[in-house]
Structure 1
Amino acid sequence: MKWSFNDLAQVSTDALAQGADLSADITQNLLTTNNVWMMLSTALVFIMHLGFAGVEAGFGQAKNTVNILFKNTVTPIIGIVTYAICGFFLMYPGFDVPGWFGFDGAGWSMFWFAPENADVTAGYADGGYTYWTDFLFQAMFAATAATIVSGAIAERVKLWAYLLFTVIYVGIVYPIIGSWKWGGGMLDSWGFYDFAGSTLVHSVGGWGALAGVILVGPRIGKYVNGKTVDKPGASVPLAVIGVFLLWLGWFGFNGGSVLSADPGLVSFVLVTTSLAACAGGLGGFLAGYFVFKRLDLGMVLNGILAGLVGITAGADVINPGPALIIGFIAGILVVMSAVILDKMHLDDVVGAVSVHLTCGVWGTLAVGIFSTNPDHSFLTQLTGVAICGITAFACAFIIFYLLKVTVGIRVSEEHERTGLDSHEHGIRGYTIVYDE
């Protein structure tokens, strides 16, 4: 059979068309795969709020259970709504020239008034998933930063004061600090690295918690004659369930921060995340036994969370061996930090400052020590930690102070002694009804 020039040209044209169709199919399938993984990660991060609720209610006293659960229910609501109103567009303006403040007015208008004009894909994320998926995933992170504060100041903070703080801190402070790295701001241009938020989420929340603990003050009877008085939690099983839910959610927190369904990188991140959690639990176990001369379950639980926080900054650039080291050191640090805070009479109900602030700082600095990327330097990491820390603490302190001198931030002594559930909510968290 003889082929004419026109026949060959037609074959070439058909092959090119088929290749273009195949390329389009691959692109669409990749978008779908990435987007499904990101939505699953969003769900995993969302379930972390149930984990935080379990930890806080478990470590808190029974008389304050409803108050604690109320805060942990309303916090993600406030976080997601405020992020939709302004946080998303403060955090991701896409700095044309790296700076300290930006606002994507066009994005805000598109989100609220012309959603049909929203790009199908998030172009600033290389088109790997939809614009709407990106918003929801990032909103879960914003709500997490607020939840950290809740646990530290539980059992004596006024509910309305806490909610007002959350609106301002999550709606404005958190996204602006986050934009300095994740929005392409100044810290990003300096080479500061924080993969999933050891600093931008956890230590920012931790600094807020520290400011709250200082200004709200310790619970009545926590420190007597120089001694620390333990206040037994309502439910150890609930606290354990909460920690395991947080560990589960961290697969989405860190795994989703890959921002794609890349099988190699996602699986690598999940391995380093899990190893750090295990090592953190071991570090908390051993340090707790050395310090308190007992098998302290609370320190094991917080050690697990400490390891998770510690690896979050560099889960994608730190190999499994160093991940174990980072987690183990974090587990020790969380115990040491808790002891020091008690000596300073800084009452943190769940250990939020020790877990999220102390280990968030450690994890971010560890990137400058253990990262496989030679461009990551310890000095740059230290600079970023300092700038974010000073800003977050100063803003949180000012917000809490203004609330203290206006609406007040602490409940009355009577309400604190008898429990917030009965006075503020009219119901108890644990009620036994006997048939007469």
Structure 2
Amino acid sequence: MDNVDVIVIGAGASGLMCAATAAYRGKKVVVLDHANKAGKKILMSGGGRCNFTNMDAAPKHFLSDNPHFCISALRRFSSQDFVDLVDRHGLDYVEKAPGQLFCEHSAKDLLDILLTELEWSGAELKLNTKIHNIDFQDGQTLVKTSQGHFVCESLVVATGGLSIPTMGATGFGYEIAKQVGHDILATRASLVPITIQPDRKAQLAELSGIACDISATADGVTFQEPMLFTHRGVSGPSILQITNFWQPGEELNINIAPTLSIDNLLELRQNSPKKSYEGFLSNILPKRLVELIKIEFPWLTERSAQISNDQIDSLFQYLSNFDIAPNGTEGYRTAEVTLGGVNTNEVSSKTFESQKQKGLYFIGEVLDVTGWLGGYNFQWAWASGYCAGQYV
């Protein structure tokens, strides 16, 4: 039997952050993970370069049934606080889009920093460790594992969500929460590509691999960023973002020419009557996409002077309400995050301790807090891990 102050289940972003923070306070900490390597999602995120924070991280960029829950942690451990940490280790990073910071070389550089912090703090990491049973006793928790039994005063659940099961994701954290009576809000895959109906997929097959700037709107929220056509459907930043707000069966609007107005189309006929709408669209859309549009509107090749107002209006409606015939999403297999999770109304926003079980803490993605695409979810991991680490 090994007696420790803190057990952290999960060697991901939030778990490593929490463990090091607590160990620096003098706590005896052990991190347990069933995987053979720590931080697998860190290594694969951002195309292997990890978008590790967003300098604009604010509560408005997070979804939760309790939108106020994240405010305290994000204030107490900001994006700049995490940048200060990696700066001390000399991490090379770049800002690929406004506020979005990526490792310049490899996500491994970031993981090495977290593991170095873990080592310096004195926390212990045990991989390939299967947890058999968790027993909450008076003031202590007994954790039986494949590497022996542990007793702790504070148990931290940093198991993440259900996204990307090939990286080891399971619903184990939700099971622990249910064990002590926590409410789990409905979970679903998010920040995930959208699949399209078979007939439409066949029509769009020739577009696989091309991207264009679009606006995607669902549930009153709009993102104007690139969309990528794939052999399964559509992806890209705008599509991933909108899946935080769209569910299969609901309305989804895709505008493939968001900067174009009906007046722009009418002005072409007035100012350049000899030019064609094919040439006009080829300046703002990929040529393969224009070829597809020509199937619907063969008159695109004619001189604009010959085109009627009704034809122009029909074209504008087609572009601004481009039908991708969404079928669903690719699910947890490729999702970056899991929406829903442990009800935050039952967890302290200051300490992250359960209100159902003393000495039990939940941090990171297992909670019902989900960020937008762009480094926000990693910032939530750092902030929640750091703040819990101050109290365990």
Same fold per superposition (TM over 0.5) = no
TM-score in terms of structure 2 length: 0.26
Structure having the larger proportion of residues in helix:
1
Structure having the larger proportion of residues in strand:
2
